[in-house]
């Protein structure tokens, strides 16, 4: 993502401001959030998924969960440890891929 072409969406979580870098804002939609099931229930920062109007699957993010994961990631890195990414999303027109932490 080119930082010069990106936007930041600010969410307030438990009094803390969390910024999410995004490529594009699609607008507002009403969706039905579905659970990701047992396989992905431990995935930090993702509340569920929804099928969008055009048939694509959109992940519903959990800003407090993302902030908590970021804090854990920073503490682990400072201690010299390694943390696998909790979420990997490739391409804007491709399916989203998630890997459990």
For strands 46-51 and 16-22, give the pairing. unpaired
Checking if the pLDDT of 101 tops 50, the result is no
Where along the chain do its domains lie?
3-78
- Tell me: the pLDDT tens digits for 29-62? 888 889 888 888 788 888 899 988 888 888 888 8
Per-position b or e across 18-46, b if 16+ CB within 10 A of its CB: beeeeeeeeeeeeeeeeebeeebeebbbb
By the 8 A CB rule, do 58 and 47 touch? no
What pLDDT, on a 0 to 100 scale, did the predictor assign at position 48?
92
Section 77-90 average pLDDT: 67
pTM of the model: 0.60
What pLDDT, on a 0 to 100 scale, did the predictor assign at position 1?
63
Residue 83 half-sphere exposure toward CB, CA atoms < 13 A = 17
What pLDDT, on a 0 to 100 scale, did the predictor assign at position 93?
39
Section 6-14 average pLDDT: 85
Q: What is the CATH number of domain 3-78?
A: 2.30.30
For the chain, the straight-line distance linking the first and the last C-alpha, in angstroms and rounded, comes to: 23
What are the structure tokens assigned to 53, written together?
A: 């109007």
């Amino acid at each position: 993502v080119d930082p010069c072409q990106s936007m930041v969406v600010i969410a307030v979580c438990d009094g803390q401001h969390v910024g999410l870098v995004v490529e594009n804002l699609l607008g507002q939609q009403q969706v039905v959030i579905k659970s990701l099931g047992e396989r992905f229930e431990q995935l930090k920062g993702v509340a569920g998924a929804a099928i969008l109007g055009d048939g694509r699957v959109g992940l519903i993010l959990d800003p407090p969960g993302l902030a908590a994961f970021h804090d854990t990631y920073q503490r682990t890195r400072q201690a010299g440890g390694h943390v696998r990414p909790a979420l990997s999303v490739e391409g804007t027109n491709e399916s989203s891929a998630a890997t459990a932490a």
